[in-house]
Amino acid sequence: MNTKMKTISIGMAMVLTTLMTAACAQKESGGGSAAGGKKAALDFVWFSDGNEGALMKGIIEEYEAKNTNVDINMIEVPYKDLSTKLKTMISGGKPPALARISTSELGAFANQAVDLGETNGGLDAYTGQFVDSLKPFYVVNNKAVAAPMDVTANGLIYNKTLFDKAGVKVPTSPDAVWTWDEFSAALKQVMDKGGAKYGLVWDYTPQRWSTLLYQFGGSLMSADGTKAAINNEAGVQAAEFFKKLHTDGIAPTSVWLGGENPNNLFRSGTVAAHLAGNWMISNYKDISNFEWGVTYMPKAKQRSSVPGGKFAMAFKKSGVEKEAADFINYITTKEVNAKYTREALFLSPRKDNAKLDYAFGKEMMEVFSNELNSTAPAAAEDWSKQTIVPKFSNDLKKALSEIVGGKTPAQEGLDEVAGLIDKAISEDKK
């Protein structure tokens, strides 16, 4: 072989070596394989509502510093694209190691999820860390398919300036909550003497309306989930009372009949109270034209809120299932979860984080936590059925609007919704 041929052969060998090395490196990072002592790469599909994405990046950096064999890659997507992104990755044979998901996605991806209870001392020991009302959401077929990261609750935000002007004192203890009739009378007084244009605005969603349903002792479905229950006596009473709030002029019809934003109405300072979720504490932080606070919701037959939240899920067939479960265990520890929820102004799902030292709204968050702890079991049982609820949710909203508007009697409207619920349950069994 002459010198020229030797040079060409050596060059080709170097090129092949370089290509093989690059191929191996790509396989290690893309597939997330942790075999052979290589660094494990974990894709974490994430969506943000506020500042929690930046907070999680900081937590990931701290984790990677302590676990130098792990590299976590956040893939941020808009929430509206989350489900499609996960389905695409899974169907393509490359599921992510991790994802942040809401209650709406838990059921759809439960079969692809790692059972977190199995590697953490069993289901009861694992779920015992978190508030009980969340359990129906993330425990599917006796498996913990995800871990709660934060929890939401519905509650009552009120205009303290208007209440003070009217001389109305709000309940300061869960032992002294109003009945709905007492609360209605208090709101009328705030309207008459405090100058409020309206007494109460209520988010235009079936989930928020169902707060009243559970307080009246009702539910969307029967306890065993086999048939509709929304049209029973308690359900009809809740719908009729909701209509009465509007016909009495306490609640403006512009929200449920006209689509007006209740947030803007409350911000105007002309509304006495807003029944909304705890996330509105963060939203209302910048209000400066009046004082506001959070008080306990009224009760009917019982007290109740409606739980929700966000979760972390680890996926099977990612090749890094153990590392993914280890990371979820880390971010749901008492200390790390406290940091995350406190700085994001979320409620913690951990029982031992019920009282956190928030920089803003500490007492308000504790009231929401109390609402959550007083929640009827039916609320989580109903809203955890996300393969059924979306099939009738819009129809329920429409039916409630027609009841409020006087177009349909409560019993008739809820009977129609009950038929749709039964149909959705039947389809879900196929």
Number of other CB atoms surrounding residue 110 within 10 Å? 19
279 and 361: one domain?
A: no
120 and 175: one domain?
A: no
pLDDT band at 1 (very low <50, low <70, confident <90, very high): very low
* pLDDT exceeds cutoff 50 at 33: no
Q: pLDDT above 90 covers what percent of the chain? A: 86
185 and 324: one domain?
A: no
Largest CA distance in the chain: 105
**Token pair for residue 298?**
């009224």
Mean pLDDT is lowest, of 13-17, 39-43, 225-229, for: 13-17
* Whole-angstrom distance, CA of residue 321 vs CA of residue 115: 10
DSSP 328-397: HHHHTSHHHHHHHHHHHT-B--BGGGSS---SS-HHHHHHHHHHHHT--HHHHHHHT-TTTGGGTHHHHH
Task: Read off the pLDDT of residues 240-285 as tens digits, 9 standing for 90 and up.
Answer: 999 999 999 999 999 999 999 999 999 999 999 999 999 999 899 9
Q: How many domains does the chain have?
A: 2
Task: Read off the pLDDT of residues 54-109 as tens digits, 9 standing for 90 and up.
Answer: 999 999 999 999 999 999 999 999 999 999 999 999 999 999 999 999 998 898 89
Looking up residue 415, the CATH number of its domain turns out to be 3.40.190.10
188 and 56: one domain?
A: no
Task: Read off the pLDDT of residues 345-359 as tens digits, 9 standing for 90 and up.
Answer: 999 999 999 889 999
Q: Is residue 297 part of a domain?
A: yes
Number of other CB atoms surrounding residue 141 within 10 Å? 8
* pLDDT exceeds cutoff 90 at 414: yes
- The residue among 353, 374, 395 that closes a domain is 374
189 and 243: one domain?
A: yes
Check residue 12 and give its pLDDT. 45
Total-model pTM: 0.84
**Token pair for residue 421?**
């619920």
Which structural domain range is residue 59 located in?
40-151+308-374
* pLDDT exceeds cutoff 70 at 344: yes
Per DSSP bridges, beta strands 271-277 and 198-202 are: parallel
Number of DSSP helices (H) and strands (E) in the chain, helices first:
19, 11
Q: Is residue 11 part of a domain?
A: no
Task: Read off the pLDDT of residues 184-199 as tens digits, 9 standing for 90 and up.
Answer: 999 999 999 999 999 9
Residue 152: which H helix or E strand, with range? strand 147-152
Q: Is residue 16 part of a domain?
A: no
292 and 367: one domain?
A: no
Q: Is residue 27 part of a domain?
A: no
Q: Which of 145, 121, 97, 126 is nearest to 317 (CA)?
A: 97
- The residue among 341, 359, 374 that closes a domain is 374
Q: Is residue 53 part of a domain?
A: yes
* Whole-angstrom distance, CA of residue 22 vs CA of residue 35: 17
Q: Is residue 231 part of a domain?
A: yes
Q: Is residue 20 part of a domain?
A: no
* pLDDT exceeds cutoff 70 at 311: yes
Question: Mean of the per-residue pLDDT values for the chain?
Answer: 92
261 and 385: one domain?
A: yes
129 and 53: one domain?
A: yes
* Whole-angstrom distance, CA of residue 263 vs CA of residue 202: 9
Name the strands in the sheet holding 292-295, side by side, starting at the edge strand that comes first in the sequence: 198-202, 271-277, 154-159, 292-295
pLDDT band at 138 (very low <50, low <70, confident <90, very high): very high
184 and 268: one domain?
A: yes
What sign does the dihedral 295-297-302-307 (CA atoms) show?
negative
pLDDT band at 37 (very low <50, low <70, confident <90, very high): low
Check residue 6 and give its pLDDT. 46
177 and 287: one domain?
A: yes
351 and 210: one domain?
A: no
* Whole-angstrom distance, CA of residue 360 vs CA of residue 366: 12
Q: Which of 103, 111, 43, 102 is nearest to 71 (CA)?
A: 43
Residues in contact with 362: Cβ distance below 8 Å, sequence separation at least 6, in sequence order = 355, 356
165 and 230: one domain?
A: yes
* Whole-angstrom distance, CA of residue 280 vs CA of residue 347: 12
Task: Read off the pLDDT of residues 116-127 as tens digits, 9 standing for 90 and up.
Answer: 999 899 999 999
- The residue among 374, 392, 417 that closes a domain is 374
Q: Which residues of 279-317 are buried (b: 16+ CB within 10 A; e: fewer)?
A: bbbbbbeeeeebebbbbbbbbbeebbbbbbbbbbbbbee
Q: Is residue 421 part of a domain?
A: yes
**SS3 category, 201:** strand
Residue range 207-222: mean pLDDT, rounded: 98
